[in-house]
Structure formats: structure tokens, C-alpha cells
Chain A
Amino acid sequence: MTLITVDAVSKAFWIPTVRRDTIREHLFGMLQPRRFHRLQALDSVSFEVRDGETLGIMGRNGSGKSTLLKILCGIYPPDRGRVERRAAVTPILDLGVGWNPELDAVDNVFLIGSVMGLSLGEIRRSMDAILGFAELQEFANLKLAHYSSGMSSRLAYAVAFHAVRDVLVLDEIFAVGDAGFRQRCEERYRDLHAQGHTVLLVSHDPRTVTSFCDRALLLDHGRIVMEGPAREIADRYVSTLTKRISD
């Protein structure tokens, strides 16, 4: 069964030559019209994600991977095309940042957990497991303002891994924490996969894609240039990078 259908999705961003973010800048800039540069982040991208599969998405920086994930998760709307979701999607994106620094870990877990769709009862029941996964039990009542960036990221992954519904969307997973934490993330990921969760995984790391994904896509300048078995895509990605460096 197809869980996610992406049909001819396009997305462009208009990048101004001069950025104006305030009323004052707009008023003073009225006599100096600015130009906009069109950045085509995604150009007619189509693919399907089937129930239970793990799909890898590879591509260089700026190839449109993160924009694609945000559209898949419903955070950005597409300019053109269609995204059809037939299952709940749990995104794990930009987790290194974005906590309320004035709240302690427990309240932040409630905040992020409920945003990710967990009920208050589910969060209460999972609290010990989440703090244990992140190894932060003894700092549970410490404000996030006093956390290191590594501690915040660990907590974010712990919440997100417990919030997974049907489809898990991961951006550059396993790039956080020490070796022990990364291993726990990998084990948790394998558990989720074994339970039949569908996973979309963005990564630059050929090892991650080949060892975790069944199938992969290679994005370049917002277009899918290759789609197929994960190993072939990872090899092509590495050879593309190597070629660019030698050129």
C-alpha cells in the first residue's frame, strides 16, 4: 500500500538582492526597487513511499532535500503539485535548536511531545523512558537555558523517537551525541523499522543510507536524477562528489 504520494511537486523561493524585514526598511527602500532571484528548490518531483519501506534521500547541500522533507511533513506548502498522506507523519527535523530555555526538561518534553501529536497521558507515561533514553534523568528539573547543545539535541531525539506514529521522517539522523547515544538511536531506529514503521531518511553518509535503507533517491538542483536500490544511489552520490572534487 502506498502511504505517501508526491506528484510533480515544485517549490521556489524568491531571494531578494536586499533583504527588508521591517516597515522602516520598506519605507526607506521605496525609491530603490530590489530584484528577486528565483531559487528553484524543487522542480517537478514525483515518487511514492510504500508501507513498511525505508526510503533514503541523498543529495549535495542545496539540492532540495530539507525543503522536500518539510513539504512532506506539511510544514511548507508546495507551489505546484500534490502531496497525499495516508498515514500520520512524525518529523524529526532541526532538533538541535528550538526549546523554551525558561522551562525545564520535563515541561519542554510536554511542549514538544504535544506538538508532535502525543497526548498528555502518553507523555506522562513515557517521561521516564524519554529522560532515560537521553540520559538526563538527574537534570530533569534544570532549565534548558543551562543545557549544553548536545544535551538539548539528545532530549529532542528522545522525544521524537517516542512520538513516532506511522511514518518517521528523519533529517541527518545519528549526527548527534557521543558514540553510545548514536548507538542507542540506531537500535531504536531498528526497533521501529522491525515494528513495520515506514521511514524516510535524509543523509549525506553513504554508510547510513546503505545500511538502513531499502531504496533511495538522488536529488540534484531540485530534481530526482536517480532512483533505485540504496547501494547504487550511495555509490552514484559518492562518485558525483569525487568527480566534482577532481574537476
Chain B
Amino acid sequence: MHWSSWSAFFNMGGYAFYVWFSFGLTALCLAWEILAVRKRRDVALNLARLLAQDKQ
């Protein structure tokens, strides 16, 4: 462990903005992708259900 304190950790040797933006954006993009795919699944399932009901 080479961080003297939590504030030193968050400060990232003065590069906090660049480091945390990079990691934050990555996390955000992946989280967004998962949510988008789940939404797409719900829409696809609903459409398939509607179609199945129509045919009955």
C-alpha cells in the first residue's frame, strides 16, 4: 500500500481529473450497455407476447 491517506488516493498525484474520468467513463459505458440490452430484451419479449396473443 503506497497511499499515505484516502485524500492522497483520490488526488492521484494531481492527476485526479484524468484518472477518475477514465475509470468513471468506462464504468458508466458498461453499466449503460447492460441497461440498454435489458430494455431491449423487455421490448422484444413484450412484442413476442403480443404476437402470440394475436394468433390465439
Partners in one complex: no
